[in-house]
């Protein structure tokens, strides 16, 4: 648990509690373990143009912006309940190269510069349409990374990316965190597993 957020410098590996989240029920955030693998899979460069689709509270956007510090990160979010949290997190962590786009993908993507890296954390039921459109805009050597919780949708996404001409891969992240017990012992508490499907375009 983070006690004083003012003491945390903006850096890679921010703890989940560093981000404002929907309350009273927290948890709708890309957990730090999954965030780390997803960011690595995106193949970010200092000058990358990034689309974060279904940005939620912006944890991926904020850390992607640190890596792509000479690029641009576009945080696309359709849920009006999330937008104030997204705006607060971007302001809190000084990600000046993050641009918030309020709207629903794929329509909200049309006027954005073509991406080098795309992260899909939420699709609002439009995942197939989002992938179809995104592939048409993806730059050479670009990468699409999708986080999913359901195995069937994971398989469908893998097949679709392959059908669209990308080199696809699947990773499962099943992390556990230590939790201190009343007697001082520590047990492991499992997080929900997440499937990370990535697709890369060659030249």
Domain ranges within the chain, ordered by starting residue: 5-200
pLDDT above 90 for 40:
yes
| Percent of the chain scoring above 90 in pLDDT | 61
DSSP conformation letters of the chain: --S-GGGPPS-TT--GGGS---SSS---S--HHHHHHHHHHTT--TT-EEEEET-TT-HHHHHHHHHTTTSEEEEEE--TTTHHHHHHHHHHTT-TTEEEEES-TTGGGTTSPPPSEEEES--TT-HHHHHHHHHHHPPTT-EEEEEES-HHHHHHHHHHHHHTT-EEEEEEE--EEEEE-TTS-EEEEEPPPEEEEEEE---
Mean pLDDT in residue range 149-163: 95
Q: How confident is the model at residue 20 (pLDDT cuts 50, 70, 90)?
A: low
Tell me the fold of 5-200.
Rossmann fold (3.40.50)
Q: Model pTM?
A: 0.87
Return the pLDDT at 202: 73
Mean of the per-residue pLDDT values of the chain:
88
């Amino acid at each position: 648990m983070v006690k004083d957020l003012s003491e945390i410098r903006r850096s890679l590996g921010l703890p989940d509690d560093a981000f404002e989240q929907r309350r009273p029920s927290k948890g709708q955030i890309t957990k730090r373990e999954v965030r780390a693998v997803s960011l690595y899979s995106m193949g970010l460069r200092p000058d990358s143009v990034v689309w974060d689709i279904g940005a939620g509270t912006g944890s991926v956007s904020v850390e992607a912006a640190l890596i792509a510090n000479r690029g641009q990160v576009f945080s696309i979010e359709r849920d009006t309940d999330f937008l104030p949290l997204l705006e607060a997190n971007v302001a809190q962590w000084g990600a000046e190269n993050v641009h918030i786009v309020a709207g629903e993908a794929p329509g909200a993507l049309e006027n954005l510069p073509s991406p080098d890296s795309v992260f899909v954390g939420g699709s609002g039921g439009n995942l197939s349409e989002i992938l179809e459109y995104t592939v048409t805009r993806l730059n050479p050597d670009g990468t699409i990374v999708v986080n999913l919780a359901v195995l069937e949708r994971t398989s469908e996404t893998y097949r679709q990316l392959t059908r669209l001409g990308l080199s696809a891969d699947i990773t499962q992240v099943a992390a556990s965190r230590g939790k201190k017990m009343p007697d001082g012992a520590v047990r492991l508490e499992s997080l929900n597993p997440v499937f990370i499907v990535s697709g890369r375009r060659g030249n």
